Amino acid sequence: MLSQLVYVSNRQVTCPEAEIEKILASCRKKNASLDITGVLLYSPTRFIQYLEGDAKEILRLYDRIKTDPRHRQVRLVSYGSIQNRAFPSWQMATKEISQIELTFRTNVSSPDRQTFKRLLSGQEQSGSQVQLLLKKFFTS
Ligand SMILES: Cc1cc2nc3c(=O)[nH]c(=O)nc-3n(C[C@H](O)[C@H](O)[C@H](O)COP(=O)(O)O)c2cc1C
């Protein structure tokens, strides 16, 4: 079943920029073979990752990611089935959270801002709302 999963976590000091490159290399290699697509957002202290693909595969990947020492306090924000992929052509799209905050200044509505705030703080969210919001960040 096609599903999505979103979590937030705390990026560790043991995860400098070069490690992010390594994470993205893993994503390119493994996610392609598992037919998993998604988005990785990061700041100096946070990660937000959105994964979409076969339910079993994303849960298995999530279990592995959770144990990665480059982040801690991994909190599940949303998980459920979806009709379509939001990012069908991205093994793992990526953006710095500071760039998103710049987008907020120009063309993000107040409800979207609230959704993003809740997301960052690790509160549970509706998958479709998160999907829509992330799509906006990558098309604006
Ligand atoms: C924030 C974060 C996101 C990650 N996302 C993925 C991912 O989408 N796909 C993936 O294969 N590995 C991802 N990783 C890396 C995995 O935790 C793991 O290191 C990688 O899959 C290599 O696993 P292996 O050593 O068992 O081959 C992520 C790690 C972190 C810290």
39 lines ligand 1 (CB under 6 A): no
- The confidence score (pLDDT) of residue 98 equals 84
Q: What pLDDT digit, counting tens, does each position of 77-87 carry?
A: 999 999 999 99
Residues with Cβ within 8 Å of residue 29, at least 6 apart in sequence = none
Check residue 107 and give its pLDDT: 66
For a ligand 1 pocket test, name from 13, 19, 22, 23 the mutation site with the most ligand atoms within 8 angstroms of its C-beta.
23
A 10 A CB-CB count for 75 gives 13
State yes or no: pLDDT of 102 exceeds 80.
no
pLDDT in tens, 4-63: 999 999 999 999 999 999 999 999 899 999 999 999 999 999 999 999 999 999 999 999
2 falls in which pLDDT band (50, 70, 90)?
Answer: very high
Identify the residue whose C-alpha is closest to ligand 1 atom 19. Answer: 68
Calculate how far, in angstroms, residue 44's C-alpha sits from the geometric centre of ligand 1.
18
The token pair at 80 is: 């459920």
Q: Given the structure tokens 């920029």, which residue do they identify? A: 17
CATH code assigned to 2-139: 3.30.70.100
Q: Can you give the pTM of this predicted structure? A: 0.93
d(CA 99, CA 118): 18
E-state strands within the chain? 2-11, 37-42, 46-54, 71-81, 93-96
Measured in angstroms, how far is the CA atom of residue 85 from the centroid of ligand 1? 20
